[in-house]
């Protein structure tokens, strides 16, 4: 660390290897348990990061089950949501009107509070989702005014 770098509020030396090892989270397809999630048309696998970080961060796999419903307009109560698409794609629309398809190998950061709607996914869709903090609320909301003016139906999905 040079003199221009601010010292982070994290340990800089290994003081207790046992404590650090307790925070190590390693998951495999066989060990990552299926857990309940926000949507019935996805399967979710917990990657153990929530426990390892004492709730500061969550990492999970989200896997398509072969069906899809639009999520409806919503936003998340969190600092950050980050997704990295592993297989397939997901189409999203955001409150500013931007449509984004996030395909395999691509990532997207969605700040907490940004209204969006998941429009479609591929049948083989799978992504890594990380949220800060781990506990992330989802709030259904009406479509932004620009979409209502274009004749989009009111939000009926939660």
Domains defined along the chain, listed by start: 44-149 (2.60.120.10)
Q: Label residue 35 by pLDDT band (50, 70, 90).
A: confident
pLDDT at 62: 94
Is 9's pLDDT higher than 70?
no
The Cα 115–Cα 51 span in angstroms is 28
The reported pLDDT for the residue numbered 155 is 42
Structure letter (DSSP) for residue 79 = S
Residue 7, pLDDT > 70, answer no
- Percent above pLDDT 90 for the chain: 60
Backbone angles phi, psi at 79, to 5 degrees: -80, -50
Q: pLDDT digits over 112-154, tens only?
A: 999 999 999 999 999 999 999 999 999 999 998 888 766 554 4
pLDDT band per the 50, 70, 90 thresholds, residue 56: very high
Summarised one tens digit per residue, pLDDT across range 78-110 is: 999 999 999 999 999 999 999 999 999 999 999
Q: Which residue has the higher pLDDT, 129 or 12?
A: 129
pTM: 0.80
Pairing of strands 107-111, 80-87: antiparallel
d(CA 52, CA 47): 10
């Amino acid at each position: 660390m040079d003199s221009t770098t601010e010292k982070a509020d994290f340990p800089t030396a290994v003081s207790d290897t046992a404590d650090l090892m307790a925070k190590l989270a390693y998951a495999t397809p066989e060990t990552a348990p299926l857990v309940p999630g926000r949507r019935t048309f996805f399967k979710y696998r917990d990657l153990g990061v929530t426990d390892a970080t004492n709730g500061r961060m969550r990492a999970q796999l989200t896997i398509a089950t072969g069906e899809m419903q639009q999520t409806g307009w919503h936003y998340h109560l969190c600092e950050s949501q980050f997704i990295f698409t592993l297989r397939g794609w997901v189409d999203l629309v955001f409150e500013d009107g931007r449509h984004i398809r996030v395909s395999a190998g691509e990532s997207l950061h969605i700040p907490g509070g940004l209204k969006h709607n998941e429009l479609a996914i591929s049948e083989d869709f799978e992504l890594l989702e990380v949220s800060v903090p781990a506990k992330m609320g989802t709030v259904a909301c009406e479509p932004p005014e620009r979409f209502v003016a274009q004749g989009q139906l009111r939000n009926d999905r939660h």
